[in-house]
Chain A
């Protein structure tokens, strides 16, 4: 296993300039046709409601020029880097180094995360960003149970997030239940919906499963929008109670957290509390997942991902295995949803679109499907990257889409392209994740 794969790629001839130019010219011509109408002509409803248009040939020309230049650069880079063989196995020395680094990165990251509120106490923005990243880390770890471990492709994960959020919001605003009572309830309700979705889709595989879960996510969102008497429809639910420090409210009042401790009240206390709350929830997700992986059920999930038919032959009950994966993943989604509701204080169906599902799925895939640390790093990279483009609001999703396509082409196996096997004979060896099958089931 630890043998370096022989370099089977043929020696390429040095780049010939006419060839590159020809390729770039073709790309530019294609771009010209593609963008001629979409970019060259801009339509808008005029003052009278009649559609008017104006031309933007300058933008068109610069875009086509950019495509021309870009394709020359890409071609040169490709020739320079040579055809890359992505199926390389990792040599033992590097493997050892990686293993050491892998062991260190996790704890270091955890310690840093624990210290974030201390270091950046005054920087509200960083704390808010940290909470956001941790929310996605938790969602990623939750979805990882379904996609990464059990190999069931779920495109509707946001449905469980929504169920959790609305469970808490409605229970808290209608019945006045506290966050700590609602949190388990939100998880239970979400996992109930997970089982409900799981039952009908048990027989489906791969792509079909993906599309059904997507439809399910959309159904949940449409029902939330249209069931106005319960959910407030597109207006959402507002005035969701903030969480309390185990019963002590984090308010400037007489019996507030600050007054009881005898320190001066600061609104940052709540942010810091929320930060540690989501950190605790995320770590709980991580811990449960790691523990479950060592139990028979976790082993069954991974076996299911590798080969469903073999699973059945070995007497594993695939029905319960799939259902528990759905339920467990959904439960963590529900927890995250409840946290989201209490953090925002306001939720509306707009927060639970397909884009969220795609984002969480992208985090899991980018993280290398099944790697806990990878998911955390991917969430950091994705949400951090999203924040970088905050100023360019309308370009954000465009960039996200481009990034998703490029990442798939560049590293379809995610950033952490290898992982330690859960079960091994004699010694543990990191294996290239090309050798790990993804879910067909």
Chain B
């Protein structure tokens, strides 16, 4: 039981990270109707920028950990958001009205560009960082010797996710930008006719999605203590699985799907085999698409001629 509780905590933390990435996929799919293949690599870039900012700040003699983390968070969100904006501007906008395969292939190309760019720029080796946030609490200590631990970093990850989600939900539900985004999702032409700047709204969608992915990248860095140029691919597919599982286009669904994928992956590793955890995640994607193509919270897609 204790073992299960511990896995539950681990799974929820991992799920928060997947959920943050999944929101980017689901937003872009909802508005532009394409799978942003490069989103996983945006997440990786976010991790790298967080790492570099952290190193530079520490070498400048800054010691207050909360202040460092706040600056790292903001810098990494800002620069990664600019990456997202640039990717959209260069690779997707010229193909907005092209045939359907074109943006997808362009996105695959962009994914190669980003991952190989960071390989060239920062080297192929894994970058380890020492644990930045240490300590934690023992929730339950059983006689059997297994203690349920809740580390501070896990608290930070979950808290950051919750706070960001609150801000993000407010942004979509209450602001002008959010209204524009929802309008573009429903009908781009109509939104444009009513004075919504569609190009700008789509750009902002990419910016917000990338900023959230940057947070996920930083959390990943803090939680696992390493980044490498290849981590975006697998994390990207899993986050996409999460988005599909939650129902693509649905924002709460993306978070729910992220938590589900995180839990499934953790439980699978804990009770079955670590080697096949990715196989489990990908199999879930296939199974979900076959039996539940609209996901948990998605709307059914009407087939039009």
Which secondary structure dominates chain B's binding surface?
A: helix
A38 to B117: give the CA distance in the assembly, Å.
9
Could you list 24 examples of A-B contacts with CB < 8 Å?
A30-B82, A36-B79, A38-B117, A43-B51, A44-B123, A45-B126, A45-B127, A49-B128, A53-B59, A204-B293, A212-B285, A214-B237, A215-B282, A219-B279, A354-B233, A355-B112, A358-B112, A365-B105, A394-B116, A395-B116, A398-B120, A401-B110, A404-B112, A412-B99
Closest to A413 in B: B99
**Which residues of B115-137 have CB atoms within 8 Å of chain A's CB atoms?**
115-130
Interface residues of B (CB under 8 A from A): 34-35, 45, 48-49, 51-53, 55-56, 59, 75, 79, 82-83, 86, 90-91, 94-95, 98-106, 108-130, 233, 237, 240-241, 244, 275-276, 278-279, 282-283, 285-286, 289-290, 293, 303, 305
**Residues in B neighbouring A394, C-beta threshold 8 A:** 116, 119-120, 124
**Residues in B neighbouring A51, C-beta threshold 8 A:** 51, 55, 127-129
A423 to B290: give the CA distance in the assembly, Å.
35
Q: Check B286–A216 contact: CB distance below 8 A.
A: yes
Chain B nearest Cβ from A110, distance in angstroms = 29
**Which residues of A290-332 have CB atoms within 8 Å of chain B's CB atoms?**
307, 309-310
Does A121 reach chain B (CB closer than 8 Å)? Answer: no
Chain A nearest Cβ from B101, distance in angstroms = 5
Q: Check B106–A409 contact: CB distance below 8 A.
A: yes
Q: A400-B112, A405-B113 are in contact. Are A34 and B56 (CB under 8 A)?
A: no
Closest to A395 in B: B120
Q: Tally A-B pairs: CB < 8 A.
A: 186
Q: Check A401–B79 contact: CB distance below 8 A.
A: no
Interface centre among B102, B116, B120, B121 (most CB of A within 10 A): B121
Does A287 reach chain B (CB closer than 8 Å)? Answer: no
Chain B nearest Cβ from A353, distance in angstroms = 9
Q: A365-B101, A413-B99 are in contact. Are A42 and B129 (CB under 8 A)?
A: no
Q: Check A219–B117 contact: CB distance below 8 A.
A: no
A154 to B272: give the CA distance in the assembly, Å.
30
**Residues in A neighbouring B106, C-beta threshold 8 A:** 404-405, 408-409
Q: Check B49–A38 contact: CB distance below 8 A.
A: yes
**Residues in A neighbouring B94, C-beta threshold 8 A:** 409
Closest to B233 in A: A354
**Residues in A neighbouring B130, C-beta threshold 8 A:** 50
A403 to B109: give the CA distance in the assembly, Å.
8
A39 to B79: give the CA distance in the assembly, Å.
13
Q: Check A43–B111 contact: CB distance below 8 A.
A: no
**Which listed residue, B82, B101, B113, B124, touches A33 by the CB 8 Å rule?**
B82
Q: A34-B86, A210-B104, A226-B276 are in contact. Are A404 and B109 (CB under 8 A)?
A: yes
**Residues in A neighbouring B285, C-beta threshold 8 A:** 211-212, 215
User: 4 tightest CB-CB pairs across the interface, nearest first?
Assistant: A404-B109, A401-B112, A401-B113, A412-B102
A309 to B302: give the CA distance in the assembly, Å.
13
Chain A nearest Cβ from B242, distance in angstroms = 12
Closest to A358 in B: B108
**Residues in B neighbouring A395, C-beta threshold 8 A:** 116, 120
Other CB < 8 Å A-B pairs besides A153-B104, A395-B116, 8 of them? Answer: A200-B286, A207-B104, A211-B240, A307-B305, A401-B112, A405-B113, A412-B101, A438-B101
**Residues in B neighbouring A365, C-beta threshold 8 A:** 101, 105
Does A114 reach chain B (CB closer than 8 Å)? Answer: no
A348 to B99: give the CA distance in the assembly, Å.
36
Chain A nearest Cβ from B120, distance in angstroms = 6
**Residues in A neighbouring B244, C-beta threshold 8 A:** 208, 211
Q: Check A37–B53 contact: CB distance below 8 A.
A: yes
Does A23 reach chain B (CB closer than 8 Å)? Answer: no
Which secondary structure dominates chain A's binding surface?
A: helix
Q: Check A38–B303 contact: CB distance below 8 A.
A: no
A153 to B104: give the CA distance in the assembly, Å.
10
Interface centre among B109, B129, B285 (most CB of A within 10 A): B109
**Residues in A neighbouring B55, C-beta threshold 8 A:** 41, 43, 51, 53
How many A residues have CB within 8 A of the partner chain? 64
Chain A nearest Cβ from B261, distance in angstroms = 13
Chain B nearest Cβ from A377, distance in angstroms = 18
A395 to B126: give the CA distance in the assembly, Å.
19
A204 to B289: give the CA distance in the assembly, Å.
8
Does A269 reach chain B (CB closer than 8 Å)? Answer: no
Chain B nearest Cβ from A305, distance in angstroms = 12
A354 to B111: give the CA distance in the assembly, Å.
12
Q: A38-B122, A153-B101, A409-B106 are in contact. Are A218 and B117 (CB under 8 A)?
A: no
Does A397 reach chain B (CB closer than 8 Å)? Answer: yes
Q: Check B112–A398 contact: CB distance below 8 A.
A: yes
A405 to B103: give the CA distance in the assembly, Å.
9
Closest to A409 in B: B94
A278 to B257: give the CA distance in the assembly, Å.
46
Chain A nearest Cβ from B253, distance in angstroms = 15
**Residues in A neighbouring B278, C-beta threshold 8 A:** 218, 222
**Residues in B neighbouring A437, C-beta threshold 8 A:** 99
Closest to A56 in B: B121
A307 to B303: give the CA distance in the assembly, Å.
12
Closest to B90 in A: A405
Closest to B49 in A: A37
**Residues in A neighbouring B86, C-beta threshold 8 A:** 30, 34
In the complex, per-residue mask of A107-126: 1 if CB is within 8 Å of any chain B CB, else 0: 00000000000000000000
Q: Check B109–A401 contact: CB distance below 8 A.
A: yes
**Residues in B neighbouring A355, C-beta threshold 8 A:** 112
**Residues in A neighbouring B51, C-beta threshold 8 A:** 43, 51
Q: Check A34–B82 contact: CB distance below 8 A.
A: yes
Q: Check B109–A402 contact: CB distance below 8 A.
A: yes
Q: Check A43–B112 contact: CB distance below 8 A.
A: no
Q: Check A37–B52 contact: CB distance below 8 A.
A: yes
Q: Check A207–B99 contact: CB distance below 8 A.
A: no
Q: Check B119–A223 contact: CB distance below 8 A.
A: no
**Which residues of A206-243 have CB atoms within 8 Å of chain B's CB atoms?**
206-208, 210-212, 214-216, 218-219, 222-223, 226
Chain B nearest Cβ from A409, distance in angstroms = 5
Q: Check B116–A397 contact: CB distance below 8 A.
A: yes
A354 to B115: give the CA distance in the assembly, Å.
13
Closest to B303 in A: A309
**Which listed residue, A42, A43, A408, touches B105 by the CB 8 Å rule?**
A408
Chain A nearest Cβ from B46, distance in angstroms = 11
Closest to A222 in B: B279
Does A138 reach chain B (CB closer than 8 Å)? Answer: no
Closest to B114 in A: A401
**Which residues of A359-378 have CB atoms within 8 Å of chain B's CB atoms?**
361-362, 365, 369
